[in-house]
Structure 1
């Protein structure tokens, strides 16, 4: 057989994902607030996209209606009967969106086929509109200017810069004095002045010093209280007989001192806030109606998008070939985005409706009635891929009469009952454990083994180590720790 170069023709099939289809799939994983940031960027970059006023029912512009702009002027929150047909040409069908593009069977021609969703991770900074009272450091620096000047002000400013969010000083005074080239005695004197700043207890180097500062300011730092503060480890252990002996007090005085101790703030700086709290906006609303349950998308956070075909016609008149090509690209992109948004919201509602159907017991009776549920069960119920359900339930929140819940909350493993059936949700078991711990008496703290036995008596086949895992996940201490806490509270 002769060796040599030759040309062969072969036929093969491969699924190629366009950048637009990839972005349409990734839109599913965005929350409404993340999507709002993406749409704001799209509105800025595409002159053919308009945001309709939120107070108009028809979503039309001020001049002319959606009819003048063409059928692409669909509001993002509305469902149109011909959307499936429209998607087949621009954004792909619903089946195209219901795929796992991480699989190896997909073919990518170039790096551009894996384009990410630009700008999707950058949300609008809503906190910039909020009114701030100032940070802890700003508050302390203002007091530095009032109390110190000259070299002392410089030292005080350095000390303030080394105070953490909780109000504690995280620095070695000797090292700081050497860095600034000042005597250690000066740094200590300035620190004493900083420690009388507001809030009380700020500038302390440990918990005992923080409590002592607050006790002095409250004029309660007597020898007995000083002794108790010096032995906070015994307070934490609940070693009250030993504390009475060391502090030289009786039961009544010890109880008064512990009440005072509980009134002090162990982290005084946190009242000025650490990281800004992020408000959670629901993506879906679920409410009871006569026919069952209504699942609605929260469209208040999303602009209603319109494709301005009239503007396209005006720009295309007399435009050069390159300009017309660019306008055509923008028009296609605008059409795709409106249709992809419509498909996204219908998919989200479809998945959420399946979750509500599966977990109807929760919506009627609470967490104790939750059923074990997996992504695969929902995927099989609605005829979609499991990865699609995973994207839809990521970073999405559902608001109902029982509160605000992440969609992932409704998925949990099952706990077998004594008959061997996995018929109880892990969340329901956690709720039962929480109820037992909250109801226990200070003189009869339940051990993990006792809780497991009680659950077994109720029909839940659960091991002690599982009880420990659930208890720790909910933030409850061991029986010994809870006994000490209840003793202190008493």
Structure 2
């Protein structure tokens, strides 16, 4: 057997993605909340990063109407052949300035006065009682035995924010070390607590408890609440048959039920409602120009502490410490560059969206154009995947309200008259308009909606109308007819 050594050259293609590129792709698709969490983690790991996070409550402006004298912004004119006028390009800043700079005497006095005012408010306004605290405070009056009090407290811990006990008693029994009958007995006592309706397992039971508390739980009302699904569908004839009453009597009972609280625990809910905050602000000036800017109140500030870096470099460090400090400086630099690139990319893509959806910005949702990722990508000079990441979990504030950037992308439906294609979102909007304008005596079937859309030049199939109606959680025409007639007769809102 002959063994030989041979040397030869071979070309091979491979893709290497740097850590900096990976970080850039990651933070581009972050929402503002995810970005804040990520930056907090980076600041904890890197002593050269000074971080100041925004207060989201300052980031929800009023829906814009006209831009008046705004100077620090990135603007884009949507007139043909126009160019960008960049007045402030760095939404994120990097440099040696420390965020811990000492405020002026006037600023310090103002902050002190505000803090004093807050202290006074906190001292004079008691904290809001939670549902859990409110229920636990009633246990001592309802139960004498200590073991019963402990069981009641355990059950209350399983209540949700609406005041319901969603878990089954057979599931809780082995967890709490008691039999299901004991749980049922204890729960029955808790259901007598304030507010009326807490401790219910479902909506029907919740409403029964409230009616019983008011002394209005009649047998026919109880039967009606046992079939609350029929009430939700406004199947008045079926309910009249089950309760042995007239249709008018059923509608009177329905009107009485509407005065009850389906979520009694919510009045004690003091947790903040998580809102969607606008990443992009769009305005139209008096001369017709569209201005697009990043919401500066939502942007974190990341500064590289170069002064601290210079001080550390002058000290005697071993090789491991030197390498750590150099890596920290390099990583901080990457982060600030990637944050700036993220801001510029989002702004560029949002500007193209605003340019292509100019009629929507001017005239409203019914004028939304069909738009694909590739259309924006080609205009912005980026890849489709970049557009996909940039619009993820981002919101735009317009004169017509707050919209997720994904809202502006939709498929097209052909026009019958050869005119401009309609977006699927626009068609859904028109379907909703037609249904909202219905009269109780003239409710439109899906076929009638198709005919109405075709008369306005929109080609759409009946199954498409049904699909869009289901997406908007709009019931069928028979159910809408029942609801509208009942509401018209008894002035239901």
TM-score scaled by structure 1? 0.76
Change (3 A) 1:183 1:212: closer
Runs of 4+ in 1 over 6 A off after TM superposition: none
Q: Please say if residues 372 and 422 of structure 1, whose CA atoms lie closer than 8 Å, have aligned partners that are also in contact.
A: no
- Could you tell me which of 178, 181, 193 is aligned with 2:189? 193
Distance 1:51 1:27 in 2: 16
Between the aligned partners of 2:53 and 2:168, the Cα distance in structure 1 is: 55
Q: 2:187, 2:398 → 1: CA distance? A: 52
SS in 2 for 1:405: strand
Q: Does 1:9 align with 2:5?
A: no
Give the distance between the partners of 2:254 and 2:452, measured in 1 at CA: 34
- Tell me if structure 1 keeps the 8 A contact 2:31–2:393: yes
Judged with a 3 Å threshold, the aligned counterparts in structure 2 of structure 1 residues 318 and 238 are, in CA distance, closer, same or farther, namely closer
Change (3 A) 1:377 1:275: farther
Tell me whether 1:292 sits opposite 2:289 in the alignment. yes
Are residues 237 and 32 of structure 1, via their aligned partners in 2, closer, same or farther at CA, if it must alter by over 3 Å? closer
Cα distance, 1:423 vs. partner?
1.2
Q: 2:413 & 2:195 partners in 1: Cα distance?
A: 48
Q: For 1:397-408, list aligned pairs within 5 A.
A: 397-408=395-406
Distance verdict in 2 for CA 1:343–1:175, change over 3 Å: closer
Q: Distance in 1 between matches of 2:38 and 2:314?
A: 30
1:309 is matched with which residue: 306, 310, 320?
306
Contact 1:177 1:187 (C-alpha < 8 Å) held by counterparts: no
Question: Take 2:15 and 2:222, find their aligned partners in 1: how far apart are those partners?
Answer: 75
Q: How far apart, in 1, do the equivalents of 2:451 and 2:211 lie?
A: 46
For residues 175 and 313 of structure 2, the distance between their equivalents in structure 1, rounded to whole angstroms, comes to 72
Q: 2:471 aligned with 1:476, yes or no?
A: no
Q: CA deviation at 1:235?
A: 3.8
Which stretches in structure 1 are left out of the alignment for 5+ residues? 59-73, 81-130
Deviation by residue 1:180-224 (Cα, 9 ceiling, x = unmatched): 55694x655433321111221222344433222111212222344
Q: Please tell me the root mean square deviation across aligned C-alpha atoms, in Å.
A: 3.5
- Helix, strand or coil at the partner of 1:404: strand
Q: Distance in 2 between matches of 1:52 and 1:177?
A: 49
3-state secondary structure, aligned to 1:216: helix
Describe the superposition over 1:146-182 as per-residue Cα deviations: whole angstroms up to 9, x where unpaired. Answer: 3213133234334434545544444347984997556
Q: Which among 120, 138, 142 is matched to residue 137 of structure 2?
A: 142
Change (3 A) 1:237 1:400: closer
Match of 1:263, SS state, is coil
- 1:156 maps to 152
Structure 1 residue aligned with 2:316: 319
Residue aligning to 1:48: 48
The aligned length equals 422
Q: Which of 388, 391, 397 is equivalent to 2:389?
A: 391
Q: Which residue in 2 is equivalent to 1:266?
A: 262
Structure 2 unaligned blocks of 5 or more: 55-70, 73-87, 95-125, 489-493
Are the equivalent residues in 2 in contact too, given 1:76–1:303 (CA < 8 A)?
Answer: no
Hey, what's the Cα distance between the residues in 1 that align with 2:366 and 2:150? Answer: 59
Give yes or no for contact 2:93–2:302 (8 Å, CA) kept in 1. Answer: no
TM-score, normalising length from structure 2?
Answer: 0.75
Deviates more, 1:220-229 or 1:189-198: 220-229
Does the residue aligned with 1:16 lie in a helix, a strand or coil? coil
CA contact (8 A) 2:284 2:290 kept: yes
**1:171 paired to 2:185:** no
Contact preservation (8 Å) 1:28, 1:391: yes
The equivalent of 2:37 in structure 1 is 37
Cα distance change of structure 1 residues 16 and 455 upon mapping to structure 2, 3 Å threshold: same
Task: Determine the C-alpha separation between the residues in 1 that align with 2:346 and 2:247.
Answer: 61
Separation in structure 1 between the aligned mates of residue 7 and residue 309 of structure 2, nearest angstrom? 47
Corresponding residue to 2:463 among 462, 465, 472: 465
Give 1:427 deviation, angstroms.
0.9
- Residue 334 of structure 1 corresponds to 332
* Superposed displacement of residue 372, structure 1: 0.1
Which secondary structure state, in structure 2, belongs to the residue aligned with residue 345 of structure 1? Answer: helix
After TM superposition, give the deviation of residue 364 of structure 1 in Å: 0.2
- Rounded Cα–Cα distance in structure 2 between residues aligned with 1:255 and 1:454: 33
Where does 1:217-228 land on structure 2 (aligned, <5 Å)?
217-228=213-224
1:18 aligned residue: 18
Give 1:50-449 correspondences, 5 Å limit: 50-51=50-51, 77=91, 133=128, 136-150=131-145, 151-169=147-165, 170-172=167-169, 176=173, 180=177, 184=181, 187-232=183-228, 235-236=231-232, 238-240=234-236, 243-244=239-240, 247=243, 253-272=249-268, 277-289=273-285, 290=287, 292-320=289-317, 322=319, 323-419=321-417, 423-449=421-447
1:403-429, Cα deviation, whole Å (9 max, x unpaired): 111111100000111146661111111
The 3-state SS of whatever aligns with 1:197 is coil
The 3-state SS of whatever aligns with 1:294 is: strand
